[in-house]
A and B are shown apart, each in its own frame.
Chain A
Amino acid sequence: MPNTKGPDQIFQRALAEQEILLPKCDDCGAFHFFPRVLCPHCHGTAISWQRASGKGRVHTTTVVRRKLERGGDYNVCMVELEEGVRMMSRVEGIAPGDVVIDMAVTAFVGEAEDAPIVLFRPAKV
């Protein structure tokens, strides 16, 4: 694919190949999310990409209440990854109301409207 140089494109393209990449600053060593052309912590512009471990914890969570005929309730949460960044996501495989803060979760690449997205499921104990 030509011109896959932009940070958003790099992230999305990896995701399409079932891989979750996280941007990491070469200068300060910190990860950040969402992807961008500079590090929001130290403002360095040398950014590398690292495969996410996929391990995270639910930082906070809510249930979006929706009528059954429109698909029913679903989870929206913030997951803090082992790498120190947080992303909005959804924990699947359990009832939306059973997602609780501090729950250990594991990332996987799922799909929303025919596009790949990062989702989570409860970590195996």
Chain B
Amino acid sequence: MTDQLRGKSAIVGTGHAGFGEAHGLTSFDVMAQSALAALGDAGLKLSDVDGLFCTMMEDSMPALMAAEYLGIQPRFIDGTMSGGSSFVNYLTSATMALDAGLCDVALIVYGSNQRTASGKLVTASRPPAYEAPYNPRYPISGYAMAAARHMHEYGTTREQLADVAVAARAWARHNPEAFERGPLTREDVLGARMVGDPLTVRDCCLVTDGGGAIVLVRADRARDFPKPPVYVLGSAAQSAHRQISQMKDFTVTAARESGKRAFAAAGVSPGDIQAVELYDAFTINTILFLEDLGFCAKGEGGAFVEGGRIAPDGVLPVNTNGGGLSCVHPGMYGIFTVIEAARQIRGDAPGIQLNDIDVALAHGNGGVLSSQVTAILGSQATL
């Protein structure tokens, strides 16, 4: 997205459904309930939706399946599948489609029942041929190897990784929507079951059910809805690889490029961001993305997150809903980074509501650090 699109679209509705365990519901049921919640939030109906942006874990024609289930015939669809970053990426395509008049009401939506259905990651994606014989556990082995390399090159410690999970939990403890709200200490994380060295089960995101949805319209009518509009100031993507074995530098992600372009499009810098919502599939993600997005220098992410610096009352509010580590993680978490950023700006965050938030960042990650998408959202005051 270039700065020509700055502020051209606005989020006027957000919704979610099926957080935690959605017993008896399919992924598409949860998707539809999320859509209804977001449309209700915007004061709109399903029949108003003429642009649909959706991907699902278990189907290769997800946007068509979703439209059919919802009983709509949208004139614009995007089902681009870049993993969990897809839903942040749709902010770009939805803004383009709205701006070009290809649709008037854009619905971004996702749902999953992976916790109650199987208890593990469900995916239609095939294991890559040159990795499969070694049985890496997807996706953790990839992230574990990125963490190991970061520790090797920069001296990042398991304690610092643990502090990411502890901070996420500290936010989640205030969020009634969060799945895990019990106390969590650094020692709890370090002493938890090792899953893929150096990551324990508490360094890993949750496996929950849940869905989310976002409604966007053109900026010129964004003030005609019940909730304060949240504008898309900039969004940008960078695709690096698909397989972890093709990652060029295990300590640097494509967030460096996506972030740079999103900041340029929005006309802001990291110092202007008041709330940071990152896709924290594993604790190493938060460290990598804080570095690559420019909140700290490469290699300093460990020190940056240490001892509650990204927890409530810390230096920088990061993952204020509790993130994928403690709030919700239904296979793909990306859409929830946007929802939490939008709610912080609107002033109706479910957990700790920060004061006077005008600019927030949502960052989606897809695959195994494969796709990075950064979006910067702003209030009416930022236009």
* Chain A positions near chain B (C-beta within 8 angstroms): 8, 33-34, 59-65, 74, 76-78, 86-90, 97, 101-102, 112-113, 115, 117
Contacts and interface: CB of A to CB of B under 8 A. Distances in A.
Main SS at interface, chain A: strand
B197 to A, nearest CB: 4
21 contacts: A60-B145, A60-B149, A60-B250, A61-B145, A62-B148, A62-B197, A62-B198, A63-B194, A63-B197, A64-B136, A65-B197, A76-B141, A78-B245, A87-B130, A88-B131, A88-B244, A90-B134, A101-B148, A113-B133, A115-B133, A117-B133
B197 A59 contact: no
A88 B148 contact: no
Q: 6 shortest A-B CB distances, which residue pairs?
A: A62-B144, A60-B149, A60-B145, A63-B197, A88-B245, A112-B133
Interface of B: 129-131, 133-137, 141, 144-146, 148-149, 152, 193-198, 243-245, 250
Contact of B134 (A34, A65, A76, A101): A76
Given A62-B144, A78-B145, A87 B245 contact: yes
Main SS at interface, chain B: mixed
Contacts of B195: 65
Nearest to B194: A65
Nearest to A118: B133
A112 B130 CA distance: 12
B245 A76 contact: no
Contacts of B137: 64, 76
B118 to A, nearest CB: 18
A117 B145 contact: no
